[in-house]
């Protein structure tokens, strides 16, 4: 446990947490919506500091990041807690639980994780993932500083629901972001996540304005966020505000946690894939291995640059700087 950053003391020992846009007002002895930031005697504490529920090496493509060090390995680290309440959460056992409700974690120091990360040959760094990394902000920040000191990369896989000041601090250390843009309506966010859309859009714009690497994932859920016109609005916004070369991953939903909606039809994903390609240079399909949509072609000359089968990646037409060997177009961060 560690005293938290980004909170304000209020009257009667109440606390306002200003880490994320919920801005929870927390009474003595209570926790915020994330279940892991607790008011103890008028101070806010991060209960999940150093509490690791998952740690292991993954292909960078699993984050998913397709244009950031393709074919490389990264150490994934996760804790517990989340500032969203998604009914379709895939990691609900750790994301929707407090420290009292989860038994399968280990307590690790910064030195423990760095040792693990540096022992693996060719590991490029650490990805903060599994649960929402904003919620273990203090541990992530301390770890990211040391990762940077080691000359390795930091990657954040996040829902993007974070206030501008803490995000600005992270931007000094995080090299790449995989942002889950869950839908393009406030109604969806309110009903299905207990969050809001606008702060996520602000996060995307803040990351883009700082020149940090960024890819976006959209989980397509039947009847909840599969309206074609709203999807077109989202694609127009990404192309205009974030950039037409921003990689977009369209992921197939499957029933999970409290959601019994049937899996996304592959035909709907194909429809959205075609729409997105009208405005975006790089669009990919996830959770549909037999439907294609995973290769990377140069958007300038059409050369096949990267072939992917599952998480097996073959680099075909790129040089050491991430450029197309045929025309010199910069496509990847390497």
pTM of the predicted protein model: 0.96
pLDDT computed for residue 311 by the predictor:
83
Q: Choose the weakest-confidence range: 51-55, 182-186, 311-315.
A: 311-315
Please state, in angstroms and rounded to a whole number, the distance separating the CA atoms of residues 78 and 144: 13
Q: Report, as an integer, the average pLDDT of 15-29.
A: 98
Cα distance between residue 284 and residue 296, in whole Å? 9
CB 224 within 8 A of CB 87: no
Q: Rounded to whole angstroms, how far apart are CA atoms 334 and 69?
A: 5
41: left (phi over 0), alpha (psi -120 to 50) or beta: left
pLDDT reported for residue 98: 85
Whole-number Å distance between alpha carbons of 60 and 66: 7
- pLDDT tens column, 1-18: 899 999 999 999 999 999
As a whole number of angstroms, the distance between CA 332 and CA 199 comes to 28
Please answer whether residues 249 and 287 qualify as being in contact, where contact means their C-beta atoms are separated by less than 8 angstroms. no
* Percent of the chain's residues with pLDDT above 70: 99
45: confidence class by pLDDT, cuts 50, 70, 90? very high
User: Tokens 């993007």 identify what position?
Assistant: 160
pLDDT category of residue 291 using cuts at 50, 70 and 90: low
pLDDT band at 168 (very low <50, low <70, confident <90, very high): very high
Which residue bears the tokens 């895939």?
A: 90
Q: What is the pLDDT, as a whole number, of residue 181? A: 98
Q: Model confidence at 182, in pLDDT bands (50, 70, 90)?
A: very high
Give CA–CA dist 113/237, Å, rounded: 38
Look up residue 13 and give its two tokens.
């020992």
The partner residues of 155 in beta bridges, in order of sequence, read 127, 176
Cα→Cα distances 130→58, 69, 96, 117, 272, Å: 12, 20, 12, 17, 26
pLDDT at 21: 98
Check pLDDT > 90 for residue 207. yes
Whether residue 333 is predicted with pLDDT greater than 90 in this model: the reply is yes
pLDDT tier at 101, thresholds 50, 70, 90: confident
pLDDT mean over 59-86: 97
- Where does the pLDDT of residue 276 fall: very low under 50, low under 70, confident under 90, or very high at 90 and above? very high
Confidence of residue 292 (pLDDT cuts 50, 70, 90): confident
Residue 290's pLDDT is: 67
More confident residue, 209 or 289: 209
- 3-state SS assignment for residue 20: coil
Tokens at 284, concatenated? 């990919």
DSSP string of 157-225, one letter each residue: EE-----HHHHHHHTTT--EEEEE---S-HHHHHHHTSS-SHHHHHHHHHHHHTT-EEEEEEEE-TTTS
| CA–CA gap between residue 1 and residue 3 (Å, rounded) | 7
d(CA 247, CA 214): 8
With bands split at pLDDT 50, 70 and 90, how would you rate the model's confidence at 104? confident
255 contacts 261 by C-beta, under 8 angstroms: yes
């Amino acid at each position: 446990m560690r005293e938290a950053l980004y909170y304000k003391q209020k009257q009667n020992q109440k606390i306002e947490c200003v880490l994320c846009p919920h801005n929870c007002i927390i009474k003595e002895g209570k926790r915020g919506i994330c279940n892991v930031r607790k008011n103890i005697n008028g101070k806010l504490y991060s209960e999940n500091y150093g509490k690791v529920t998952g740690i292991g090496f993954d292909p960078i493509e699993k984050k998913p990041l397709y244009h950031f060090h393709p074919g490389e390995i990264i150490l994934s680290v996760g804790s517990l807690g989340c500032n969203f309440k998604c009914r379709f959460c895939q990691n609900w056992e750790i994301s929707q639980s407090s420290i009292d409700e989860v038994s399968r974690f280990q307590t690790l120091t910064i030195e423990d994780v760095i040792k693990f990360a540096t022992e693996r040959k060719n590991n490029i760094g650490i990805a903060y993932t599994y649960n929402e990394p904003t919620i273990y902000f203090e541990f992530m920040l301390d770890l990211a500083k040391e990762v940077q000191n080691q000359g390795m990369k930091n990657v954040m896989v996040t829902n993007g629901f974070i206030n501008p000041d803490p995000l600005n601090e992270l931007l000094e250390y995080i090299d790449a972001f995989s942002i889950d843009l869950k839908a393009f309506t406030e109604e969806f966010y309110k009903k299905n996540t207990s969050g809001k859309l606008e702060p996520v859009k602000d996060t995307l714009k803040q990351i883009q304005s700082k020149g940090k690497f960024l890819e976006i994932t959209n989980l397509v859920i039947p009847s909840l966020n599969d309206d074609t016109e709203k999807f077109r609005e989202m694609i127009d916004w990404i192309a205009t505000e974030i950039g037409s070369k921003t990689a977009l991953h369209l992921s197939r939903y499957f029933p999970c946690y409290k959601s019994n909606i049937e899996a996304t039809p592959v035909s709907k994903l194909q429809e959205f894939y075609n729409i997105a390609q009208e405005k975006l240079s790089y669009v990919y399909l996830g959770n549909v291995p037999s439907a294609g949509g995973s290769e990377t072609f140069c958007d300038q000359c059409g050369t096949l640059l990267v072939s992917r089968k599952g998480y097996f990646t073959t680099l075909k037409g790129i040089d050491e700087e991430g450029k197309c060997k045929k025309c010199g177009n910069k496509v990847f961060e390497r």
